Amino acid sequence: MAGFEIEKEVVIDAPIEVVWRTITEPDQISQWFADRVELVLEPGGDGAMYFGDAGEGGPLVVEAVEPPTRFSYRWNHPAGETPVDGNSVLVEFTLVPEGDDRTRLRVVESGLEELSWPDTDKEHYAGEHNNGWATFLERLTTLAVERARG
Protein backbone atom coordinates (compact mmCIF):
# COMPACT_ATOMS: atom_id res chain seq x y z
CA MET A 1 0.00 0.00 0.00
CA ALA A 2 2.79 2.39 -0.86
CA GLY A 3 0.11 4.59 -2.46
CA PHE A 4 -0.54 6.14 0.94
CA GLU A 5 2.88 7.89 1.02
CA ILE A 6 2.69 11.63 0.45
CA GLU A 7 5.65 13.27 -1.27
CA LYS A 8 6.12 16.87 -2.41
CA GLU A 9 9.16 18.72 -3.70
CA VAL A 10 9.74 22.39 -4.39
CA VAL A 11 12.69 24.61 -5.28
CA ILE A 12 12.77 27.78 -3.19
CA ASP A 13 14.64 30.96 -4.13
CA ALA A 14 16.26 31.22 -0.70
CA PRO A 15 19.49 29.91 0.83
CA ILE A 16 19.35 26.62 2.73
CA GLU A 17 19.92 28.34 6.11
CA VAL A 18 16.81 30.50 5.59
CA VAL A 19 14.68 27.52 4.60
CA TRP A 20 16.02 25.51 7.56
CA ARG A 21 14.94 28.19 10.04
CA THR A 22 11.57 28.48 8.31
CA ILE A 23 10.82 24.78 8.84
CA THR A 24 12.28 24.43 12.36
CA GLU A 25 11.54 27.63 14.31
CA PRO A 26 8.08 27.61 15.95
CA ASP A 27 7.45 31.31 15.27
CA GLN A 28 8.17 30.67 11.58
CA ILE A 29 6.23 27.38 11.37
CA SER A 30 3.15 29.17 12.71
CA GLN A 31 3.30 31.56 9.75
CA TRP A 32 3.03 28.87 7.07
CA PHE A 33 1.79 25.64 8.70
CA ALA A 34 0.17 25.16 12.08
CA ASP A 35 -1.52 27.95 14.01
CA ARG A 36 0.06 26.95 17.33
CA VAL A 37 3.47 25.29 17.50
CA GLU A 38 5.52 23.93 20.39
CA LEU A 39 8.80 22.27 19.51
CA VAL A 40 11.92 21.04 21.29
CA LEU A 41 14.34 20.85 18.36
CA GLU A 42 16.35 17.76 19.27
CA PRO A 43 15.92 14.04 18.61
CA GLY A 44 13.30 12.76 21.08
CA GLY A 45 12.09 16.30 21.74
CA ASP A 46 8.40 16.76 22.43
CA GLY A 47 6.20 19.15 20.57
CA ALA A 48 2.72 19.83 19.29
CA MET A 49 1.05 21.46 16.33
CA TYR A 50 -2.55 22.62 16.28
CA PHE A 51 -4.55 23.87 13.31
CA GLY A 52 -7.50 26.24 13.20
CA ASP A 53 -10.10 27.13 15.79
CA ALA A 54 -11.06 23.48 16.25
CA GLY A 55 -7.55 22.71 17.47
CA GLU A 56 -6.99 19.82 15.08
CA GLY A 57 -3.54 18.28 15.25
CA GLY A 58 -1.82 17.21 18.40
CA PRO A 59 1.42 16.08 19.98
CA LEU A 60 4.52 15.04 18.10
CA VAL A 61 8.00 13.74 18.84
CA VAL A 62 11.06 14.93 16.93
CA GLU A 63 12.81 12.05 15.21
CA ALA A 64 15.84 13.65 13.49
CA VAL A 65 17.58 17.03 13.47
CA GLU A 66 20.54 17.35 11.09
CA PRO A 67 21.02 21.08 10.37
CA PRO A 68 20.59 22.29 7.72
CA THR A 69 19.62 19.25 5.63
CA ARG A 70 17.17 16.99 7.51
CA PHE A 71 14.36 17.40 10.02
CA SER A 72 11.67 14.86 10.86
CA TYR A 73 8.98 14.17 13.43
CA ARG A 74 6.33 11.57 14.19
CA TRP A 75 2.70 12.34 14.93
CA ASN A 76 -0.86 11.00 14.62
CA HIS A 77 -0.15 8.27 17.14
CA PRO A 78 -2.70 6.83 19.61
CA ALA A 79 -3.22 8.93 22.74
CA GLY A 80 -1.04 7.79 25.59
CA GLU A 81 1.42 5.95 23.34
CA THR A 82 4.91 6.98 22.29
CA PRO A 83 5.02 7.46 18.52
CA VAL A 84 7.15 4.79 16.87
CA ASP A 85 7.36 3.07 13.50
CA GLY A 86 4.02 1.25 13.08
CA ASN A 87 1.76 3.47 15.21
CA SER A 88 2.45 6.94 13.80
CA VAL A 89 3.11 8.95 10.67
CA LEU A 90 6.63 10.20 9.93
CA VAL A 91 7.02 13.66 8.38
CA GLU A 92 10.47 14.21 6.94
CA PHE A 93 11.95 17.35 5.41
CA THR A 94 15.10 17.04 3.29
CA LEU A 95 16.91 20.16 2.09
CA VAL A 96 19.52 20.29 -0.67
CA PRO A 97 21.27 23.52 -1.67
CA GLU A 98 21.13 24.45 -5.33
CA GLY A 99 23.86 27.04 -5.65
CA ASP A 100 24.12 29.75 -3.00
CA ASP A 101 20.63 31.16 -3.30
CA ARG A 102 18.23 28.26 -3.90
CA THR A 103 17.11 25.23 -1.94
CA ARG A 104 15.36 22.06 -3.04
CA LEU A 105 12.94 21.02 -0.28
CA ARG A 106 11.38 17.58 -0.24
CA VAL A 107 8.63 16.63 2.21
CA VAL A 108 7.60 13.02 2.68
CA GLU A 109 4.82 11.86 4.98
CA SER A 110 5.00 8.09 5.39
CA GLY A 111 3.96 5.23 7.65
CA LEU A 112 0.26 5.57 6.98
CA GLU A 113 0.07 2.10 5.41
CA GLU A 114 1.28 0.56 8.70
CA LEU A 115 -1.45 2.09 10.86
CA SER A 116 -4.36 -0.04 11.95
CA TRP A 117 -6.86 2.42 10.44
CA PRO A 118 -9.40 1.27 7.86
CA ASP A 119 -8.22 1.83 4.28
CA THR A 120 -10.97 4.40 3.72
CA ASP A 121 -9.56 6.49 6.59
CA LYS A 122 -6.04 6.16 5.19
CA GLU A 123 -7.26 7.22 1.73
CA HIS A 124 -9.06 10.23 3.23
CA TYR A 125 -5.99 11.24 5.25
CA ALA A 126 -3.65 10.81 2.24
CA GLY A 127 -5.94 12.86 0.01
CA GLU A 128 -6.30 15.68 2.54
CA HIS A 129 -2.60 15.80 3.33
CA ASN A 130 -1.54 15.59 -0.30
CA ASN A 131 -3.63 18.68 -1.04
CA GLY A 132 -2.64 20.31 2.25
CA TRP A 133 1.09 19.98 1.65
CA ALA A 134 0.70 21.67 -1.74
CA THR A 135 -0.91 24.67 -0.04
CA PHE A 136 1.50 24.74 2.90
CA LEU A 137 4.57 24.55 0.66
CA GLU A 138 3.29 27.54 -1.31
CA ARG A 139 3.06 29.49 1.95
CA LEU A 140 6.48 28.25 3.10
CA THR A 141 8.05 29.26 -0.23
CA THR A 142 6.57 32.76 -0.03
CA LEU A 143 7.77 33.22 3.56
CA ALA A 144 11.29 31.91 2.89
CA VAL A 145 11.70 34.10 -0.20
CA GLU A 146 10.53 37.16 1.79
CA ARG A 147 12.98 36.33 4.59
CA ALA A 148 15.83 35.85 2.10
CA ARG A 149 15.17 39.27 0.57
CA GLY A 150 15.26 40.81 4.05
**pLDDT tens figures, 125-150:** 999 999 999 999 999 999 999 999 98
The larger pLDDT score, comparing residue 56 to residue 26, is at 26
How confident is the model over 79-117, as pLDDT tens digits? 899 999 999 999 999 999 999 999 999 999 999 999 999
Q: Which of 53-57, 71-75, 140-144 has the lowest mean pLDDT?
A: 53-57
Using CA atoms, how far apart are residues 42 and 124, in angstroms rounded to an integer?
31
Helices (H), the chain: 16-24, 26-32, 119-149
Going by C-beta distance under 8 Å and a sequence separation of 6 or more, which residues neighbour residue 132? none
| Distance, CA of 36 to chain centre | 14
Q: For the chain, what are the domain ranges?
A: 2-22+65-149
Pairing of strands 46-51, 6-12: unpaired
The model carries a pTM of 0.94
Of the candidates 43, 104, 110, the one whose C-alpha atom is nearest the C-alpha of residue 75 is: 110
Residue 10's alpha-carbon distances to 33, 39, 46, 54, 94, in angstroms, are 16, 24, 27, 29, 11
Share of the chain above pLDDT 70, in %: 99
Cβ distance 129 to 6 under 8 Å? yes
CATH class of 2-22+65-149: alpha beta
Q: Is residue 1's pLDDT more than 50?
A: no
Reduce the DSSP state of residue 126 to 3 states and report it. helix
Share of the chain above pLDDT 90, in %: 89
Q: Is residue 54's pLDDT more than 80?
A: no
